[in-house]
Amino acid sequence: MDRGTRSELIDRLAAAICAVRAAHPLRVAVDGPPAAGKTTPADELAVVLRARGRHVIRASVDDFLVPRAQRYRRGRYSAEGCYFDAHDRAALCRVLLDPLGPGGHRRFQDSLYDRDTDAPLTPPPTTAPEDAVLRFDGVFLLRPELVDRWDLRIFVSVPLEQTVDRALKRDAAVAGFTTEIERSWRDRYIPSQQLYAATARPADHADFVVHNAEPQQPTWEVRSR
């Protein structure tokens, strides 16, 4: 187990990515519970990689949600719905992960859904350079349907109860209320993460496990698989 500043962690992750040799763009998953603190370090990682001369593609699993009626068909607070129904994993593989993978043509789309309008998106395909890095963050990225499509896997771990506090601080200031946020976490998001942990064991498939209870002073493990 290593401990350091977040900057030291980002440098360590960037070095690991740059050390991977492949004849196609590298697909890097940054997985973890909602409000675990994935997005900011992932964005910082993109900055460091670009400074090292890599072309970075940024995308998120939230850009591959299914329409609201489908993802809430089991109920607004269903944990099973969150885990099984929320994302279009087949489309994610078809338009992004597989084109960037071994033997892929490198023409990709980085989003298919607009969460604000609950409408599909059809961005024009873009061709990735061969040495590009896809930095993809979100939830449930190391589940069986996706785990083999990543070239480097990062799992950000945090006590689930702490994610409730973070979500309340982050979202309540915008939304102006706390009851629905807390219910969403306790009835939907936390149980769905517990289901994910029990069925997919994501930390066991990660190359790096980042313990992010203290975001400015994280600890991390490098896993051998």
Rounded mean pLDDT, 178-187: 89
Q: Is residue 176 predicted with pLDDT exceeding 90?
A: no
pTM: 0.94
Lowest mean pLDDT among 23-37, 56-70, 125-139, 158-172: 158-172
Q: Give the DSSP letter string of the chain.
A: -EE--HHHHHHHHHHHHHH---SS-EEEEEE--TTSS-HHHHHHHHHHHHHTT--EEEEEGGGGBPPHHHHTTT-TT-HHHHHHTSB-HHHHIIIIITTTSTT---EE-S--EETTTTEE--PPPEEPPTT-EEEEEESSTTSTTTGGG-SEEEEEE--HHHHHHHHHHHHHHHHS-SHHHHHIIIIIIHHHHHHHHHHH-GGGG-SEEEE-SSTTS-EEEEPP-
Distance CA 120, CA 96 (A): 16
Q: Are 85 and 74 in contact (CB under 8 A)?
A: yes
Q: Is residue 174 predicted with pLDDT exceeding 80?
A: no
Q: What is the pLDDT of residue 169?
A: 82
CA 81 to chain CA centroid, Å, is 18
Q: What is the pLDDT of residue 197?
A: 97
Q: Is residue 173 predicted with pLDDT exceeding 60?
A: no
Q: What is the pLDDT of residue 31?
A: 97
Q: Is residue 175 predicted with pLDDT exceeding 60?
A: no
Residue 212: pLDDT band by 50, 70, 90 thresholds? very high
Q: What is the pLDDT of residue 105?
A: 97
- Name all domains of the chain by residue range, CATH numbers in brackets: 2-219 (3.40.50.300)
Q: What is the pLDDT of residue 224?
A: 62
Q: Is residue 76 predicted with pLDDT exceeding 70?
A: yes
Q: What is the pLDDT of residue 225?
A: 53
Q: What is the pLDDT of residue 177?
A: 72
> Which tens digit of pLDDT belongs to each residue from 41-67?
888 999 999 999 999 999 999 999 999
Q: What is the pLDDT of residue 40?
A: 84
